[in-house]
Amino acid sequence: MSSRIRTLSAVVLLCAGALLTGCGDTSGTGPAPGADAKAVTGARGEAPAAAVPQTLAVAEIPGIGPRTRAGIPADARQVFVVTGSGPDADESTAALYRHDADKGWQRTAGPWPAHNALRGWTDDHRQGDLRSPIGVYGLTDAGGLLPDPGTELPYDRQSLFSISGRGFEGEPLEGSFDYVVAVNYNREAGTTPLDPSRPLGDDKGGGIWIHVDHGGPTQGCVSLDRDRMKELLRALDPELRPVVVMGPAGTLAR
């Protein structure tokens, strides 16, 4: 086994133990590394919304205030907005927007139910705080246990995305990493989501992903229904410089 594979294997084990932040714990006592949320159907007792794109042309993205807007790169023409229902809540709403030179911002997918960390949100994320980081982050890399569903992002398929154990509410974590998109919080862009690099230091956490919803709160990630994850992967276009804007509604509106 190469040293690289050993390193990546170690990362997955650390994540599974919630040592690098992310989402969960594969040990059976809690969530795991990109793992995160209640399954949409289980959390709300209803079927997920139909995957019918809804187009809404607006001058500015709804719910995004001037301070948050200033953090969005000028060349970002695709924005995935994850709006938390409250600063300490683990439920969110997600929608994808694309900028058109003539029409302005258009909602091209969503709104979808989503989940975030068990204790809500923070603007000073730390390893193990069970909060999702607030901010604007690039979306440049994807991967998963299953084959590429048709994304334009670089996609790393490998068995290291396997996960087992149970989450905070006793829900099985298996399948949570079938599809993931790495959130560029404390990571090196242009690498597999499994890359162990932490430019800000390990104490600032890492392994923050958007991944398949498993049915319970996360340790830091955002999760979506499986079909919504595939839809998001197929929609993200690296030429549009996609970013995620994530945080509680009150903060994003500033």
Convert the pLDDT of each residue in 99-143 to its tens digit: 998 889 999 999 999 999 999 999 999 999 999 999 999 999 999
pLDDT score for 23: 58
Convert the pLDDT of each residue in 217-237 to its tens digit.
999 999 999 999 999 999 999
Report the CATH number that the domain containing residue 85 is assigned in CATH: 2.40.440.10
What is the DSSP code string of 138-158? E---EEESSPP-S-SS-EEE-
For residue 83, the SS3 value is strand
Residue whose C-alpha is closest to residue 28's, from 212, 178, 206, 171: 171
In the prediction, which pLDDT does 33 show? 38
| Number of domains composing the chain | 1
Query: What DSSP letter does each residue of 97-139 carry, written as one string?
Result: EEEETTTEEEEEEEEEEEE-BTT-EESS--TTS--EEPEEEE-
Which pLDDT tens digit goes with each residue over 56-65? 556 889 999 9
Instruction: Round to whole Å and give the CA distance between 232 and 124.
Output: 27
Residue % of the chain over a pLDDT of 70: 77
Residue 209 has pLDDT above 60, yes or no: yes
CA dist 56 and 6 (Å) reads 47
Domain residues for the domain of 73 are 3-252
Q: What is the pLDDT of residue 95?
A: 98
Q: What is the pLDDT of residue 59?
A: 80
Calculate the average pLDDT of the chain: 83
pLDDT higher than 50, residue 5 = no
Judged on CB neighbours under 10 Å (0-12, 13-18, 19+), 62 is middle
pLDDT the model gives residue 216: 87
